[in-house]
Chain A
Amino acid sequence: MAEKRITIQATRFDPDKDEKPHLQSYDIPFADESMVVLDALNHIKSYVDGSLSYRWSCRMGICGSCGMMVNGTPKLTCSAFLRDYWPHKITVEPLNNFPVIRDLVIDMDDFMHKLKSVKPWIIRKQEIPLGAGVHRQLPAQVTEFRQFSECINCMLCYSACPVYGLNDKFLGPAAIALARRYNLDSRDQGLKERLPVIAEAEGVWECSFVGECSVVCPKGVDPAKAIQQTKLDTTLRFTLPYGNRD
C-alpha cells in the first residue's frame, strides 16, 4: 500500500538574502493519524531542511510558543491535526500582524511591552507578611477571574484582530484580558495603576468588537468579553458619583 503523504507549504524568509517572504513546499509522510502540524514541521527540520526556523516548546498547548497561521487561521500548531486537512495541502505562515524575523518566527517585542504595561501581577498597597498566613479566596471570588487567567500569551488573538492589524498602538486583546483578570482578583489592589493604560483611547476604546479574538483563542478565554466589560466598568467609574472607588 502506498505511503500516505501530505504537502506542507511553509513561509521562508532569510533577512540576509530575501526581500520578502515566500512559500516553500515539502512533501512529507503522514504516518500517524495523531500527527499535528508541529510534528510535520519537526519532520521537515529533522529530515528534509534543517534551516527551517520556528518556535515551539511544550507540544501540549500550554506554553503558547507554536502559534502560526495554518491555512490562514491563527492556531497552535501542536493542536492542529493533519487529519483535519488531509488530503489537501497545508499552508503554514508566521502569525499575521507581527514583523517576521525569519521563516515562521515573529518579533513579539510589541506584545511583551504591552503585556508589561498592564502590570499582570498582584499589586498590594501593603504586602501581607508571610507570617499572616495564606490569603483566602472563596470559590465565587475565584470564578470571577478564572476564565481570564487561562491566557497563555500565545498571541493568536492579536493575529486575528484586524483592529491591531490596522493600528499597532492598540493595547490588544490578551493584555486587556489579563489586566481584567487581575482587576477582578479579590487579592489585588492595583486597579488605579492599570486604569491609565487600559482606559485610554488606544486601550479598550480602540476595540470595535470584531470578536475574532475570542473565536481563535485555544484556551477558551474570551478577550472580547473582557474588553467590553472593561468599557462598561470604566464608563461607570467616570459617570457615577460612587464610581471612583478602588
Chain B
Amino acid sequence: MRTPVQMSTPPAQRTYSWSMPSAWWTRKRHYLLYVVREFTALPMALWLLWLLYDIKRAGSGPAGFYPSRSVFFVIFSAVCLVFAMYHSYTFLKLAGVIIHVKVLDKPVPPRVIVFMMFGLLAVASIVIGAVLIGFAR
C-alpha cells in the first residue's frame, strides 16, 4: 500500500511592505482638499471652546460678560466662519449622494436634494440671525 505523499509547507514568502509616505496628502489636489477640510475642524473646535467659556462667564450675570473685542479674536472668528461655511458646503453637497428620496415612485435628482439642503441652511441662518438680533435689542 502506498503511503500518502507528505506535502511540505512552503517557506513564507518575503514581501516588501509598502508604507504611506508622510507627505501623501501633497500628491493630489483631492487629497490636499480632504486634509484641509479635516484640519479646519480644529480651529472651529477652539472657537467653540472659547464660546463655551464666554457663556460660562455670562452665567454669573451681566458683569461677568465681556466678550473679547481684540483684533486677533475678530480675525480668528472671521477665519473660523469661512471654515464653518466650507464644512457646511462639503457636508450639504454630500447630501445629494447619500439621501435617496422618492416622489411618486421616482427618485428625486441629487441636485434637487442639494439645492433643498442649501435652501434649508439659508432659512435656518436667517431665523437664527433674526432671533439673535431680536434678543440683542
Mark A residues whose CB is within 8 Å of B: 13, 15-16, 18, 20-21, 72, 94, 96-101, 107, 140, 162, 165-166, 208-212, 215, 222, 224-225, 228-229, 231-232
A95 closest partner in B (C-beta) = B18
Q: Is B27 located at the chain interface by the 8 A CB criterion?
A: yes
B28 closest partner in A (C-beta) = A212
Contacts of B17 in A (CB 8 A): 99
A140 closest partner in B (C-beta) = B105
Chain B proximity of A150: nearest CB distance (Å): 17
User: Could you tell me if A211 and B34 are in contact, using CB atoms closer than 8 angstroms?
Assistant: yes
> Which of B2-10, B51-59, B92-100, B124-132 has 4 or more CB atoms under 8 Å from chain A?
B92-100
User: Could you tell me if B97 and A96 are in contact, using CB atoms closer than 8 angstroms?
Assistant: no
With the chains together, A165 CA to B34 CA distance in Å?
A: 15
Mark B residues whose CB is within 8 Å of A: 13-18, 20, 24-25, 27-28, 30-31, 34, 38, 94, 97-100, 105
Not counting A16-B14, A94-B18, A100-B18, a sample of 10 additional A-B residue pairs whose C-beta atoms are within 8 angstroms of each other reads: A96-B18, A98-B18, A99-B15, A99-B16, A140-B105, A162-B34, A212-B30, A228-B97, A231-B98, A232-B98
Looking at B16, B24, B97, B100, which has the most chain A CB atoms within 10 Å of its CB? Answer: B16
User: Could you tell me if B13 and A15 are in contact, using CB atoms closer than 8 angstroms?
Assistant: yes
Q: Can you name 8 A-B residue pairings with CB atoms under 8 Å?
A: A15-B13, A15-B15, A20-B16, A97-B18, A100-B15, A140-B105, A162-B24, A162-B25
A-B contact count (CB 8 A): 60
With the chains together, A20 CA to B17 CA distance in Å?
A: 9
With known contacts A162-B31, A215-B30, A225–B13 Cβ distance under 8 A: no
User: Could you tell me if A210 and B31 are in contact, using CB atoms closer than 8 angstroms?
Assistant: yes
Chain B proximity of A96: nearest CB distance (Å): 6
- Give 4 nearest A-B pairs by CB, closest first: A99-B15, A100-B16, A165-B20, A228-B98
Contacts of B18 in A (CB 8 A): 94, 96-100
User: Could you tell me if B15 and A72 are in contact, using CB atoms closer than 8 angstroms?
Assistant: no
Contacts of A21 in B (CB 8 A): 16
Partner of B16, one of A13, A140, A222: A13
A72 closest partner in B (C-beta) = B27
User: Could you tell me if A15 and B14 are in contact, using CB atoms closer than 8 angstroms?
Assistant: yes
With known contacts A21-B16, A98-B18, A212–B98 Cβ distance under 8 A: no
Contacts of A162 in B (CB 8 A): 20, 24-25, 31, 34
Looking at A13, A97, A210, A212, which has the most chain B CB atoms within 10 Å of its CB? Answer: A210
A143 closest partner in B (C-beta) = B107
Contacts of A224 in B (CB 8 A): 97
